[in-house]
Structure 1
Amino acid sequence: MGVGGWPRFVAVRLGGAAVSLGLVLISAFFIFRVLGGDPVSAMTRDVPATPEQKRQLRHQLGLDDSLAQQFATYVKGVFSGQLGQSYQYRRPVADLIVDRLGATVLLTGTALVLSAGLGLWIGTRAGWRSGSRFDKTHVGVSLALWSAPTFWLGLIMLVVFGRLLGWFPINGMRSPRTADGWWPQTLDIAHHLVLPAVTMAAVIYAQYVLIMRASILEQRGEEYLVTARAKGLTDAAVLRRHAVPNALLPTVTLVFMQLGAVVSGAILTETVFSWPGLGQLAYEALKVPDIPLLQGTFVFFSAAVIIANTCADIAYRILDPRVRTS
């Protein structure tokens, strides 16, 4: 792709992302209004309220407006940077998302580093030693974990390592009796982080294993590796200096794509382990239903996936010269 083609390419990708985000905004409004359930009834379930008080609450929340009026208010709020007011927390949705974002980034970031590091290492060795016991064993284990439901694997981890062995906490992000200070608090958070992060990493690392293995297998047949061996390089040096750098291209783009997918996939893991992030927040909103909060978290998760996929598409064309010249 020539220099002149880059502005058009980026503009097309950004335009596609903008259209996708627009469809997400429309979907977020209508989907959560057909879920069923009455937010006012849920909010007054444990508090005695007269029919008049319920009508007043419905008016305050704007639920007695027509669907067209509610949609106009919603769109205006989104473009002004306001995602509405949470029904159950009585706080701006944007503030709630910001408060919970750090916990989700910590969990998903740790899981992504673990899965990418382990997956690339195993995939490289499996592809280089194709057909060996190492290859068959690790590919089989990876596929088994990839097919396992996240919530099921999380429950197994919770029961075995949390309840039976008692090695790790089974819920939350902090223990109430932890001593004050940066170091004790950090160790406490890390202790709580182990089970949910390992659960997420175990489910997604198979993708890195399979893609890296396939890339290494493709590179093994290239003539430049034969030339490198003819120059006297050891097998390990040929793998490290030549095969791995070229095989990393498709995996790098997968990392970008997983940034969005992992964040959006945190709902099940955070729910199982009661991790106080955006996934747990979305689950709490679903029980009411807290429509503004559901809309806000849905838009955030969807935007993360769209932005990450757009960045992956652009990054691949930057990193791979074959695509740039096509």
Structure 2
Amino acid sequence: MSTESTSALAGDPGGAVAAPAAATPRGPRRRSGTGYLRYVAGKLLGAVVSLFAVLVTSFFLFRLIPGDPVKAMTGGKQVSQEQLDSMRREFGLDLPLWHQFTDYCGKALTGDLGTSYQFHTPVIDKIAEALPATLLLTGTAFVLYTALGVWLGSRGAWRHGRFGDRFHTAFALTLYSVPSFWLGLLLIIVLSVGIGPIPGMFPTGGMETGGKEGFAYFTDVAHHMVLPVLTLVAVEYARTLLVMRSSLLDEMGSDYLTTARAKGLRDDNVRRKHAVPNAMLPTVTLLFVNLGNTVAGAILVETVFSWPGLGGLFYQALSIPDLPLVQGLFFVFAAAVIVMNTLADLIYPLFDPRVGR
């Protein structure tokens, strides 16, 4: 009998029998599942903590704004001190700050964000009234700049160094550095007012002309949307393009792409089916954050174009200041971003199974 066989029969750890005895195929799966559950629990806990931090910040931050909201609501009229005190009692502004804070948190947990000072209606109703206009504007822009940015970014990275890649990258960097409100004003001057041989073709602001119904109403709204949507797409597609291009360039030298080409796959198939899905992880984060910002709207763009959405409402409330409305809008804006960012974290394992282990 050979030495190796004797060692194996004797139970020598170095023998051939030792390897099968140590195999535990189910252990790693259990650890992986537990690790993912911990990953999900950690992300959800972080989202809850972030929401509470936003709730606290939204209360104290806007109380640093100078000015008396009660006097602002009077519109500069002569009002007696007794009337001012009565208004402060009506809105609870005469209570100690800690009392106002506990009332605010308690009501917020039940979905009550307070009553607007200037509109005398629940804040949640004003948000629900302005939300469709914001979703229409920024949602349309989101679909357009996402498709354009991902497509141009992936094609530019795949053909990096060529004229098309250099041109689109330089153009995207230029647009990314341009303030959105400045670009909106420039588009109004050129395409709304008209300059030189270019006639004014689009409205300067608003969502509709009024007095139109049916198909004419939809075309009128679409006509008003052109410039604000173009402003949002021009700025945001540039950021999506740059992130997608950078992420795909990091994948270009990977071994799995060389293997896919060695199998005889066409270059376009290698890019679409192998390279782009693996390069989408950073872009997914950006897209989900942008999707959260869709609820927040574009405050500056909506203000420039007088769009009746959440952004314009926030600017209007901030000018008084209408504290309940400002706080409520700020909380909704931040909550949308936090929720979308958490969802992005939770779907990461679909793109990269290593995440969450």
Match of 1:24 in 2: 54
Over the matched positions of the two proteins, sequence identity in percent amounts to 51
Q: Deviations along 1:130-183, whole A, 9 cap, x unmatched?
A: 111111111111111111111111111121111113221111111113x222x2
Q: Alpha-carbon deviation of 1:234?
A: 3.2
1:254–1:312: 8 Å Cα contact kept in structure 2?
no
Q: Alpha-carbon deviation of 1:48?
A: 4.0
| 1:243–1:249 CA distance, 2 compared to 1 (3 A) | same
Scaled by the length of structure 2, what TM-score is found?
0.86
Q: Alpha-carbon deviation of 1:240?
A: 2.8
Q: Deviations along 1:184-234, whole A, 9 cap, x unmatched?
A: 221111111111112112112122212221232233222333333344433
Q: Alpha-carbon deviation of 1:24?
A: 0.8
1:124–1:216: 8 Å Cα contact kept in structure 2?
yes
Counterpart of 1:238, as a letter, is V
Counterpart of 2:210, as a letter, is P
CA distance in 2, matches of 1:240, 1:288: 52
Q: Alpha-carbon deviation of 1:239?
A: 2.4
Q: Alpha-carbon deviation of 1:49?
A: 2.5
Structure 1 range deviating more: 229-238 or 18-27? 229-238
Q: Alpha-carbon deviation of 1:262?
A: 4.3
The runs of 5 or more residues in structure 1 that have no matched partner are none
What is the root-mean-square deviation of aligned Cα atoms in Å? 1.7
CA distance in 1, matches of 2:36, 2:143: 31
- Map of 1:96-175 to 2, 5 A cutoff? 96-164=126-194, 165-175=199-209
- Map of 1:37-116 to 2, 5 A cutoff? 37-116=67-146
Match of 1:276 in 2: 308
Match of 2:11 in 1: none
1:85–1:92: 8 Å Cα contact kept in structure 2?
yes
| 1:241–1:15 CA distance, 2 compared to 1 (3 A) | closer
- Does residue 189 in structure 1 map to residue 232 in structure 2? no
Q: 1:294 aligns with which of 286, 307, 326?
A: 326
1:253–1:315: 8 Å Cα contact kept in structure 2?
no
CA distance in 1, matches of 2:55, 2:247: 37
Q: Alpha-carbon deviation of 1:238?
A: 2.8
Counterpart of 1:104, as a letter, is T
CA distance in 1, matches of 2:95, 2:217: 47
Structure 1 range deviating more: 59-68 or 274-283? 59-68
Q: Deviations along 1:264-293, whole A, 9 cap, x unmatched?
A: 351111111111111111100011110000
Q: 1:3 aligns with which of 14, 33, 52?
A: 33
CA distance in 2, matches of 1:223, 1:16: 36
Match of 1:201 in 2: 233
Q: Alpha-carbon deviation of 1:47?
A: 4.1
CA distance in 1, matches of 2:210, 2:352: 50
1:24–1:302: 8 Å Cα contact kept in structure 2?
yes
- Size of the aligned set, in residue pairs, is 323
The DSSP-based 3-state class of the residue aligned with 2:95 is: coil
Scaled by the length of structure 1, what TM-score is found?
0.93
2:145–2:233: 8 Å Cα contact kept in structure 1?
yes
The DSSP-based 3-state class of the residue aligned with 2:63 is: coil
Structure 1 range deviating more: 246-255 or 140-149? 246-255
Counterpart of 1:122, as a letter, is L
CA distance in 2, matches of 1:10, 1:246: 22
CA distance in 2, matches of 1:66, 1:145: 48
Structure 1 range deviating more: 200-209 or 284-293? 200-209
Structure 1 range deviating more: 307-316 or 83-92? 307-316
The DSSP-based 3-state class of the residue aligned with 2:355 is: helix
Structure 1 range deviating more: 93-102 or 240-249? 240-249
Q: Alpha-carbon deviation of 1:296?
A: 0.3
CA distance in 2, matches of 1:140, 1:31: 39
Match of 2:18 in 1: none
The runs of 5 or more residues in structure 2 that have no matched partner are 1-30
Counterpart of 1:311, as a letter, is L
Q: Alpha-carbon deviation of 1:61?
A: 1.3
Match of 2:24 in 1: none
1:250–1:316: 8 Å Cα contact kept in structure 2?
no
CA distance in 2, matches of 1:209, 1:11: 32
Q: Alpha-carbon deviation of 1:25?
A: 0.8
- Does residue 180 in structure 1 map to residue 239 in structure 2? no
1:28–1:299: 8 Å Cα contact kept in structure 2?
yes
The DSSP-based 3-state class of the residue aligned with 1:252 is: helix
CA distance in 1, matches of 2:105, 2:254: 54
